Amino acid sequence: MPEVVFSVDQSKSMRDQTVPGHNRWHPDIPAVAWVKPGDEFRMECKEWTDNQIGNNDSANDVRDVDLTVAHMLSGPIGVEGAEPGDLLVLDILDLGPVPQEVGPAPGQGWGYTGIFAKSNAGGFLTDYYPDAAKAIWDFHGQVATSRHIPGVSYTGITHPGLFGTAPSAELLARWNARERALIATDPTRVPDLALPPEPVGTLAGTLTGAEMERVGAEGARTVPARENGGNHDIKNFTRGSRVFYPVHVAGALLSGGDLHFSQGDGEITFCGAIEMGGFIDFHVDLIKGGMQTYGVTTNPIFMPGRVEPRYSEFLSFIGISVDHDTDTNHYLDATLAYKRACLNAVEYLKKFGYSGEQAYLILGSAPIEGRISGVVDIPNACCSLYLPTQIFDFDITPSAAGPQWGDRGACALTS
């Protein structure tokens, strides 16, 4: 087994670990361990909300999640010899739930998918599903099943939702300035347009006192992906993948977590993956001066692994950039087009007995394929959603006999 450079006791909060992690991006959060190019190492990770979600039949915990503490990240891990302008090369060797443990923490044999309430971050379809809901998934090797969504089982593409390098002070200032400018365009919007620095809930690794307060005042929230990597939520970033991260500070300062047992393209419910704690093994290397050499300055690049379920039959749903609720055409709006594809899939699955919330949770957590199919045919962008038909234990394809309606139970809702 590779050397464990960041260890986690899943029964404890990240704040109470022997060496705590952090939940803000900031260049002054110190490395908790160092590795060399060529090393293989393991990082253990907490579930992203720090165990605020329970294995139960109520979504009140999803409704009431305190997002000021998210995401709980393991690290930072320094890489010897890494300098600004380099590319950090990471190979994912292995990852998964907490090994050989059963318990109350997500990742100890189970995980969850949540629809976040519109008043607390929301999701892709929050205007249609504004209230919190939840599904608990049990792990059976590579397969997930849920008592909240019967009739469905699938092989997950296990992956980390969030890893990245630390920003420089200059890059951090740019993030905060541009995101504050975005918020200012509609400061009372629900959900918020972006999340500015928030001192409440800040965890800054081993920093305390005035140093931690400064990180809270300046540190970037971890919700979106940015130039350093971050919360990409790419389902095919799994075993065998190689990623090239821009290095912005000495040592690179790698951090991450937010492990997922499975996810569909887009993670559309906001907490759309099957969330869990667990472990991830890496091999690390450097390309000196690689940012300039390859023109990789505003984003990482990655090579997906070859590990994925062998689903070969799909039912595809199309969306175009038309708001059908108001019959309004939008010009080449791919976001709206994918939203309509998702809504079309939800409406279809409701014909088989699933609630809208259950269908929404399926699309967030199952290995669906989302594609931008056309962005040139004015005025309508076209997006498509490929739903694997083999994840259902009944036939969902159209036929003259009509849909096989059944009692599909219920997901966890709020009281």
- The one-digit pLDDT tens for each residue of the chain (415 residues) are 899 999 999 999 999 999 999 999 999 999 999 999 999 999 999 999 999 999 999 999 999 999 999 999 999 999 999 999 999 999 999 999 999 899 999 999 999 999 999 999 999 999 999 999 999 999 999 999 999 999 999 999 999 999 999 999 999 999 999 999 999 999 999 999 999 999 999 999 999 999 999 999 999 999 999 999 999 999 999 999 999 999 999 999 999 999 999 999 999 999 989 999 999 999 999 999 999 999 999 999 999 998 989 999 999 999 999 999 999 999 999 999 999 999 999 999 999 999 999 999 999 999 999 999 999 999 999 999 999 999 999 999 999 999 999 999 999 999 9
The CB density around residue 390, as the number of other CB atoms within 10 Å, is: 15
- Distance between CA atoms of residues 329 and 327, nearest Å: 7
Structure tokens at 161: 């939702």
Q: Is the peptide bond before 2 cis (omega within 30 degrees of 0)?
A: no
- Interior angle at CA 124, CA 118 and CA 130, nearest 5: 25
Q: Is the peptide bond before 76 cis (omega within 30 degrees of 0)?
A: yes
Read off the amino acid at residue 345.
A
Read off the amino acid at residue 145.
T
Helices 356-365 and 334-350, axial angle in degrees (round to 10)? 120
Q: Return the pLDDT at 377.
A: 96
- Distance between CA atoms of residues 155 and 261, nearest Å: 9
Residue 208, exposed/middle/buried by CB under 10 A (0-12, 13-18, 19+)? exposed
Q: Return the pLDDT at 50.
A: 98
- Name the residue among 194, 199, 222, 229 with its Cα closest to residue 71: 222
Q: Return the pLDDT at 346.
A: 98
Residue 21 vs residues 17, 30, 69, 162: alpha-carbon distances, Å: 8, 10, 11, 14
The CB density around residue 324, as the number of other CB atoms within 10 Å, is: 11
For residue 95, the cross-strand partners are: 280
Q: Return the pLDDT at 1.
A: 82
Q: Return the pLDDT at 100.
A: 87
Q: What number of CA atoms fall less than 13 Å from residue 370's CA on the CB side?
A: 23
The backbone torsions φ and ψ at residue 67, rounded to the nearest 5 degrees and listed phi first, read -80, -5
Residue 134, exposed/middle/buried by CB under 10 A (0-12, 13-18, 19+)? buried
- Distance between CA atoms of residues 373 and 383, nearest Å: 5
Structure tokens at 79: 């890489």
- Interior angle at CA 157, CA 57 and CA 363, nearest 5: 50
Q: Return the pLDDT at 283.
A: 98
Alpha carbon of residue 196 to chain centroid: 19
pTM: 0.96
Q: Return the pLDDT at 272.
A: 87
